[in-house]
Chains A and B, each alone.
Chain A
Amino acid sequence: MLGPTDLLFGILIPAVVAGILLLVDARLGAQRPRVRSLHLGAAGLGAGYLIAHAWLVGVPASPFAGGAVPFTAWIFWMVAVAIVLAPLRGVPALARWSHVLYVGLFCVWMRRVIRSPGPGEGADFLLSFGGVLLVFVLWRLLERLAERRPGPSLPLALWAACAGTSVTLLLNKSGSLAQLVGAVCAGLGAAVVVTWIVRGAHLARGVVAIVAIVVASAVRIAIVYDLPAASWVLLAVAFVGPWLGEVPGLRARSARLAGAVSFLGAAIPAGAAAVVTAVAREPSPY
């Protein structure tokens, strides 16, 4: 149940914060490559997310304070670190390895902090390793697509995938995770508007990092709490879906058609994940 203040801090403020920084990136980034290399998208989406997280779930305890840190708290700290480290990806001297190191760091971090009981044993280790690899591949594929395709179609497709993830999590009795992914959706909504009003603008660098960290972590936690396997597989497919708009010849025929295919490629599997979760859920009047 979201009250007016929850909507303000969980949706509106994240959208406004993301919108301002993404607009700066879109306006200045086109003229000055240095601005674009700052990966302002991470700060834009990330700062909005941190505000929403602090309001919806609470400011988490520091991992250095001792004691166990809740699963959800790790998402907060990973996003904070992602914002701080993002500009390093634009340092020319690090250019060759920075992307692999940056993305790899968070993939391994997710594997370490969000683990099912009995980590590192046999099949469980292989599954976790497979999960890390899957997130790494999806993350890098989306970053490549963001570099390649201008306009609002990619942020719109990502918004659809995230919205489907949020509904899926809600149906899996993880309302707080659904709200956290919802805050990312709000930032992506701002990205749609910015890439629509600034002609030729690409999705800001760093946006995909925040989407990947929040969504992958939230889904990983939901898997610990019995999210059906078919649901998370469909969600993974949803984040590959935007590439359907890159089918050879499609964009040359019609950019709008390519955008629609990209959107549907994300929205259909994400919607199917929500339906599968709803069907798998035990009927309950609660």
Chain B
Amino acid sequence: MKIISTTLPLAGLVLAGLSLTAANWTSSPPAIAPAAVPVTYTVDSVHSSTVFSTTHLGVSRFYGRFNKVGGTFTVDSDKPENSKVSIEIDIGSIDSNHKGRDDHLRGPDFFDVKQFPTATFESKTVTKAGDKNWKVVGDLTLHGTTKSVTIPMEQTGTGKGREGEALIGFHGTFKINRSDYGIQFMKGGLGEEVTLIVSVEAAAK
């Protein structure tokens, strides 16, 4: 009897504790509004994606990705013009799900990674285009050529990381013509227009 009387309250406490823990795991982190002051974030390569796609033989749309992306964001919600975006992509980290093709894409027919190991994007102007939407205009340097591109970015969310650091996420899609960047090989086989999807998660420094 004594055992039961002491065990039941203990079991209740354990259950209550478990349910509280479960509640902590299942509920999403509280949303954090972007700070009023400019905040600089560093891109988290592990939770960011840079995906490209183009047509193959005019038949299908093919997707590949660059596995290493880095850079920084400076976000100023009150004065968007003070915001900045700087992204660097390791072209050698290209992943098309086929090693032979990846080697070919790294070679002189396409990206020429020995001479041009990275692609960069540096913003020139950042403007707000809605509550969660931004318009980023900047210079994309790829294969030794720099061209101005406009990337409509959606702020996908904010939150806190494991160590309490502020997190922010952006997602943007834009298109380029590969011949503008001197990548012309297989004109008939591969599409001229390449769609780039940049989805980044960044943590405050």
Q: Which residues of A contact B (CB under 8 A)?
A: 1, 3, 6, 56-58, 60-61, 67-73, 116-117, 173-177, 221-222, 224-225, 282, 284-286
- Contact between B114 and A224 (Cβ–Cβ < 8 Å)? yes
How many residues on the B side are at the interface (Cβ–Cβ under 8 A)? 25
B185 within 8 A of A: yes
Partner of B182, one of A61, A117, A221: A61
20 contacts between A and B (CB under 8 A): A3-B187, A56-B184, A57-B184, A61-B144, A67-B146, A69-B144, A70-B115, A70-B116, A70-B143, A70-B182, A71-B115, A173-B100, A173-B104, A174-B107, A175-B186, A177-B108, A282-B99, A284-B98, A284-B99, A286-B98
Say whether chain A's binding surface is mostly helix, strand, loop, or mixed: loop
Q: A1-B188, A58-B179 given as contacts; is B145 within 8 A of A225 (CB)? A: no
Mask of B151-195 contacts with A, CB within 8 angstroms, 1/0: 000000000000000000000000000010010111111000000
- Contact between B109 and A175 (Cβ–Cβ < 8 Å)? yes
Partner of A60, one of B100, B103, B109, B182: B182
Partner of B112, one of A6, A56, A71, A175: A71
Q: How far is the CA of A260 from the CA of B74 in the complex (A)?
A: 70
Say whether chain B's binding surface is mostly helix, strand, loop, or mixed: loop
CB of A97, distance to nearest CB on chain B (Å):
34
**A284: chain B residues within 8 A (beta carbon):** 98-100
- Contact between A70 and B186 (Cβ–Cβ < 8 Å)? no
Give the nearest-CB partner of B105 in chain A: A173
B101 within 8 A of A: yes
Count of A-B contacts judged by CB separation below 8 Å: 72
- Contact between B145 and A61 (Cβ–Cβ < 8 Å)? yes
Closest 8 CB pairs of A and B: A284-B100, A286-B100, A68-B144, A3-B188, A173-B104, A176-B109, A58-B184, A286-B101
**A285: chain B residues within 8 A (beta carbon):** 100
Partner of B189, one of A1, A67, A71, A176: A1
- Contact between B114 and A225 (Cβ–Cβ < 8 Å)? yes
**B179: chain A residues within 8 A (beta carbon):** 58
- Contact between A282 and B108 (Cβ–Cβ < 8 Å)? no
Q: A56-B184, A286-B100 are in contact. List 9 more A-B contacts (CB 8 A).
A: A57-B185, A61-B145, A67-B144, A67-B145, A68-B144, A70-B182, A116-B114, A175-B185, A286-B101
Give the nearest-CB partner of B117 in chain A: A117
CB of A46, distance to nearest CB on chain B (Å):
21
- Contact between B182 and A176 (Cβ–Cβ < 8 Å)? no
**B146: chain A residues within 8 A (beta carbon):** 67
CB of A223, distance to nearest CB on chain B (Å):
11
**A3: chain B residues within 8 A (beta carbon):** 187-188
Q: How far is the CA of A71 from the CA of B110 in the complex (A)?
A: 12
Q: How far is the CA of A205 from the CA of B104 in the complex (A)?
A: 37
Mask of B110-149 contacts with A, CB within 8 angstroms, 1/0: 0010111000000000000000000000000001111000
- Contact between B104 and A286 (Cβ–Cβ < 8 Å)? yes
**A61: chain B residues within 8 A (beta carbon):** 144-145, 182
- Contact between B104 and A70 (Cβ–Cβ < 8 Å)? no
- Contact between B107 and A225 (Cβ–Cβ < 8 Å)? yes
**B145: chain A residues within 8 A (beta carbon):** 61, 67
CB of A161, distance to nearest CB on chain B (Å):
21
Q: How far is the CA of A116 from the CA of B107 in the complex (A)?
A: 14
- Contact between A58 and B188 (Cβ–Cβ < 8 Å)? no
**A73: chain B residues within 8 A (beta carbon):** 182
